[in-house]
Amino acid sequence: MKELKILGVITFFTLVTYWGVEPLAHSIFHPHVAPADFKFKDLPAVKGNGDVAKGQELVAQNCTACHSIEKAGHPQLMDDATLAMSYGVTPPDLSLAGLIYDENFLANFIKNPTEATKLTHKFDDAGRAFPMPGYAWMSDDEILSIVAYLKSIAPKTASNKEVFESACSRCHDMKYAKITASTPDADIKKYMGSIPPDLSMMIRSRGDHYLETFINDPQKQLHGTAMPRVGLSKDGQAQVIGYLEEVGDSKKQEREDLGPWVLGFLAIMTFFAFLWKREIWNEVK
Amino acid sequence: MAKLEKANSVGEWLDQRLATTKLTKVMMTEYWIPKDINFLWAMGVVLMVTFKLLIISGIFLLMYYKPDVNMAFDSVNFTIMQDVAYGWLFRHIHGVAASVVFLVMYIHMFTGIYYGSYKRGREMIWISGMLLFVLFSAEAFSGYMLPWGQMSYWAAYVITNIFGGIPFIGDELVVWIRGNFYVSDATLTRFFMLHVFLVPLAIIGAIALHFYALRIPHVNNQKGEEIDFEEEANKYKAGNKKRSKVIPFWPVFLSKDIFVLSAFLIFFFYLVFYHYNFAMDPVNFDPADGLKTPAHIYPEWYFLWSYEVLRGFFFDIAGIKAADLGLIAFGIAQVVFMLMPWLDRSPTVAPANQRPYFRVWFWLMLVVLIVLTVYGKLPPTGTNAWIGFYASIAFLLLFVALPFLTAKEAKVGGK
């Protein structure tokens, strides 16, 4: 019983030290932020009636000059480098927009992109124009028609990789998945102020807990960052984080499957080691 | 050489040439250990096995690691972690063992302090042990640089900078250590050499010395009792096993160690599979970038107490610069534990709880070290800086007070 007491003392001091250098230190390094808000409650609700056919017409008139929509027969007209040179950043293909982004966010984004992405400090306030003009001059019905059309052409599902590429890879590289940002480095540096980090190991360096609030609203964790809030829906963001995990922590499943076997083996070993020790020490005690 | 008889078995053949029977007796079956011990006496074997885990996992990592600033990060995080079969397992074992080995070393060290196992002929055991601690620190620091992540780079930058504070030669010394004016490819490659060759070699030598140092004074026991090992061994060999105060290393001592070791391995592998972030800092999964200073730079947890002593002195005192004071205090902190046998002036070898003054010193020291460790990680601003300052002063004062306390205790008499 004396030995259990000693073990208790050691465990106590070890845990106090652990608590100090891990949970306590991390709570101070990363102050708690409000949980991710997938309703984007800070944005006004755009109300009205959207009409798919009208939306199709509006998209053809207003969007496809810059945006490709591969799924709806609007292919990319120029190569990435030319697009980036023309607009500052490659405009996204809109095929998946209706699937992966929140509906109300999309409507707000079309009306006023820098407000929705929380980038007014990089553009409006700095006297620069966001590459995409706002469409606040349209009626809410027209805006919602565009959203309705984008939703109508979007596939029902997409792979994690497709979602990631659509939402992240115009700016970010992910070299462990052999993905290179569609905007060339020189252009993206001019556009963002610095080259956005490679995302290969983000799942280990940031962890899913941080990414959950960061991707949802980058300003919350990294105030003043040039990274836009992209407005991924809850499911869309889960797919992006899922892909970060597939690439950066590809052996997670193997790790979690092997763990119980090793620990089980050791538990059995400990049991027999105890029996053996007792037998041996019975002779001398 | 005596006339050689024909051997009847391989064992006999080897015995004729290598004296294996005698060797087994000396090293195992007649190497005597006190019987009055608890599981803390198993920490030596636990450390030995953890060191072996480090070597074995290290060998596998070495097969794929590239000590080059352009390749190091990807060779670790892509090739080893994701491409090579079970590479992640070896890296997790290596990373977690590097951290846990320090936890066990601290337990081992404080067991020695608590039971007074550094005096009455055991000084060389203590000194060789503290030498091992220094070598393991060098090994941990050099290894931490290898993945070439943000923490690797900035820890290398901050720690090599410390040497710049040494009078006269400081600046030249920093350049000499780095092999360049800044932390660079030359720095990485030389620390790689230190990590995989020179320091491990020195560690193995120091372990041999540490084990050998145990032979003459023998292992201490729970009461600090002086045992006549020869007499007790004779009792044991005569079959009086229950009344003898000693046990042989094999199988009796090791049977207990193996049980403790097995239980320890459950804890260890739990960390390897499920709880590794404390040992593999997430920040280090960002590639090294000399132009982007991380928000918080801190060493691994086992260096935090001495790091806090270094930065605890944050203002000039009596015309001496804060940085110099910190460096002096840091220098003292590195060697002062080695002087324990001479700072403790009481000849009594007994557990701390039976020594009226030393008992207070022991627990205060433990608390001060934990305070230093915790505040060594927190940002050194406002109250934190002052707590760090006072804890550093308390740490130094405890060592100043130790000779007086123990001398007085010797007069009053323990127990």
Q: Does A11 touch chain B (CB under 8 A)?
A: no
Q: pLDDT for B59-100, tens place per residue?
A: 999 999 999 999 999 999 999 999 999 999 999 999 999 999
Q: pLDDT for A132-143, tens place per residue?
A: 999 999 999 999
Number of domains forming the structure of chain A: 2
With beta carbons under 8 A apart, name residues in chain A contacting B113.
none
Is 70 exceeded by the pLDDT of residue B413? no
Reported ipTM: the value is: 0.95
Decide if A262 is inside a domain: no
* Secondary structure of chain B in HEC code, one letter for each residue: CCCCCCCCCHHHHHHHHHCHHHHHHHHHHCCEEECCCCHHHHHHHHHHHHHHHHHHHHHHHHCCCCCCCCCHHHHHHHHHHHHCCCHHHHHHHHHHHHHHHHHHHHHHHHHHHHCCCCCCCCHHHHHHHHHHHHHHHHHHHHHHHCCCEHHHHHHHHHHHHHHHHCCCCHHHHHHHHHCCCCCCHHHHHHHHHHHHHHHHHHHHHHHHHHHHHHHCCCCCCCCCCCCCHHHHHHHHHCCCCCCCCEEEHHHHHHHHHHHHHHHHHHHHHHHHHHCCCCCCCHHHHCECCCCCCCCCCCCCHHHHHHHHHHHHCCCCECCECHHHHHHHHHHHHHHHHHHHHHHCCCCCCCCHHHCHHHHHHHHHHHHHHHHHHHHHHCCCCCHHHHHHHHHHHHHHHHHHHHHHHHHHHHHHCCC
**CATH of region B33-285, choose from 3.40.50.970, 3.90.420.10, 1.20.810.10, 1.10.3720.10:** 1.20.810.10
Which pLDDT value is given to residue B182? 94
Q: Does A189 touch chain B (CB under 8 A)?
A: no
Is 50 exceeded by the pLDDT of residue A222? yes
* Residue spans per domain, chain B: 33-285, 301-415
Q: What whole-number distance in Å separates Cα of residue B310 and Cα of residue B325?
A: 8
Size of interface A-B (CB pairs under 8 A): 126
Of the given ranges (A86-90, A262-266, B121-125, B126-130), which has the lowest mean pLDDT? A86-90
Q: Does A17 touch chain B (CB under 8 A)?
A: yes
* Average pLDDT in chain B: 95
* Average pLDDT in chain A: 95
Query: Do A174 and A229 belong together in one domain?
Result: yes
Alpha carbon separation from B36 to B29, B89, B206, B252 (Å, rounded): 18, 38, 27, 12
Is 60 exceeded by the pLDDT of residue B414? no
Query: Do A164 and A196 belong together in one domain?
Result: yes
Which pLDDT value is given to residue B1? 60
Contact map slice: A 97-136 vs B, CB within 8 A: none
Is 90 exceeded by the pLDDT of residue B203? yes
Q: What whole-number distance in Å separates Cα of residue A227 and Cα of residue A239?
A: 19
Is 50 exceeded by the pLDDT of residue B415? no
Query: Do A172 and A162 belong together in one domain?
Result: yes
Q: Does A2 touch chain B (CB under 8 A)?
A: yes
Q: Does A8 touch chain B (CB under 8 A)?
A: no
Query: Do A89 and A21 belong together in one domain?
Result: no
Q: pLDDT for B272-300, tens place per residue?
A: 999 999 999 999 999 999 999 998 999 99
The boundaries of the domain holding residue A131 are 33-248
Query: Do A118 and A15 belong together in one domain?
Result: no
Q: What is the CA radius of gyration of chain A?
A: 26
Among A3, A21, A175, beta carbon nearest to B304 = A21
Query: Do A68 and A4 belong together in one domain?
Result: no
The C-alpha of B238 sits at a distance from chain A's nearest C-alpha, in angstroms, of: 13
The C-alpha of B276 sits at a distance from chain A's nearest C-alpha, in angstroms, of: 11
Mean pLDDT of A192-199: 93
Q: Do A28 and B244 touch (CB under 8 A)?
A: no
What percent of chain B has pLDDT above 90?
95
Q: Do B370 and A2 touch (CB under 8 A)?
A: no
Q: Would you place residue A31 in the very low, low, confident or very high pLDDT band (cuts 50, 70, 90)?
A: confident
Provide the whole-model pTM: 0.95
**Cβ pair B246, B230 in contact under 8 A:** no
Query: Do A7 and A54 belong together in one domain?
Result: no
Q: Do A284 and B252 touch (CB under 8 A)?
A: yes
With beta carbons under 8 A apart, name residues in chain B contacting A204.
77, 282, 285
Query: Do A24 and A42 belong together in one domain?
Result: no
Q: Do A280 and B255 touch (CB under 8 A)?
A: yes
Mean pLDDT of A5-14: 98
Contact map slice: A 193-222 vs B, CB within 8 A: 197-198, 200-201, 204-207
Q: Would you place residue A164 in the very low, low, confident or very high pLDDT band (cuts 50, 70, 90)?
A: very high
The C-alpha of A56 sits at a distance from chain B's nearest C-alpha, in angstroms, of: 44
Which pLDDT value is given to residue A57? 96
